[in-house]
Amino acid sequence: MMRLKRSGLVAALLLVTAPARAEDIVITQFGVAFAGNPFAIGIDGGYFRKAGVDLTGIIAGAGGGTSVRNVMASPLGYGEVVLSAAIAAIREGQDIRVVNVGARSVADVVVVVKPESPIKSLKDLEGKRIGFSNPKSLSEILAIMALEKGGLKAEQAQRVALGSLGGALTALEKDGVEAAITMQVVWAQRADKLRVILDAGRDLPPMVQSVGIATGDLMRKNPDKLRKIIAARREAVQFMNAKPEEAAKMLGKHFPKMPAEVLHKVTVQLAKNGYWSEGRLEREPMENMARGLRLVGDLKDDIDWSKVVDASFLPKDLQ
């Protein structure tokens, strides 16, 4: 049975005990975000085992640079992190590369208002307050892009950092802001109390959220193992896209507090929107995220992708 471990500490990775050959994989925000769900399907559905890779559990990374460091310290040397953290680490000289795309869109995020709000379109956000989590976060990127989509400039609305998406939603409820960034899963559970004015999967171009990274040590010493991991994950994604209802049932134990109907609804919707990539390193969606990072000042220049990605471990038809 798959074992789920939660730790933001590198030390926790080093203390993991497991049977011979059995390994755990670091997945950023697993159990909260949906990007890493193909790994749960891959483990529970036997795709990794069939490929000859004995992955037995997932360590839920804390996010950002912490998850990158955890991947680098792990025995496996592969994991899934957000693209921005991978870029930052590589530019700092860390011996890692992006070897596959995880979530190729931001379809799990929406911009919401109260049902009775006079805001009927994105253009109506002019002069209003938009709640998001933290400066330079994905939620701030989406707040700016929502304004752009409405034909507005970033400075034509007030962006309010509230520490978390939960804080942004609370501020909306208490009239501290007029709109807020939140997750699809949150909206799906409160659809009677929130109205969507931007569905990122529908209204914005694909933007790579998460990527698989591998250490130089794994790439040099065990390239076939890396190829097997990526190929097995691809099979899991294909299953999820073909049978999202079955995938949602399998994911239930990993989201024990989430109503089954919500998990089903969101999984089906994300599969429909092509949220999970089979792994292809698509340049345009990666550039779209890089543009977002520039919008919030987290990136100052263009990216030389040849120094960031390595497509040689992907299946031939995805290279």
- pTM value is 0.89
Amino acid, single-letter form, for residue 193: K
pLDDT tens digits for the chain (319 residues)?
Answer: 455 554 444 444 443 433 436 899 999 999 989 999 999 999 999 999 999 999 999 999 888 889 999 999 999 999 999 999 999 999 999 999 999 999 999 999 999 999 999 999 999 999 999 999 999 999 999 999 999 999 999 999 999 999 999 999 999 999 999 999 999 999 999 999 999 999 999 999 999 999 999 999 999 999 999 999 999 999 999 999 999 999 999 999 999 999 999 999 999 999 999 999 999 999 999 999 999 999 999 999 999 999 999 999 999 999 9
Cα dihedral sign, 106-107-108-111: positive
pLDDT at 22: 84
Q: What are the structural domains, with CATH classification, of the chain?
A: 3-105+207-318 (3.40.190.10), 109-203 (3.40.190.10)
pLDDT at 217: 98
Rounded to an integer, what distance in angstroms lies between the CA atom of residue 292 and that of residue 313?
27
Chain-centre distance of CA 265, in angstroms? 18
Contact 297, 134 (CB under 8 A): no
Rounded to an integer, what distance in angstroms lies between the CA atom of residue 315 and that of residue 102?
15
Strands (E), 189-306: 195-199, 210-215
User: Rounded to whole angstroms, what are the CA distances from 312 to 17, 75, 278, 319?
Assistant: 32, 22, 15, 7
pLDDT at 19: 40
Rounded to an integer, what distance in angstroms lies between the CA atom of residue 124 and that of residue 132?
18
Chain-centre distance of CA 73, in angstroms? 21
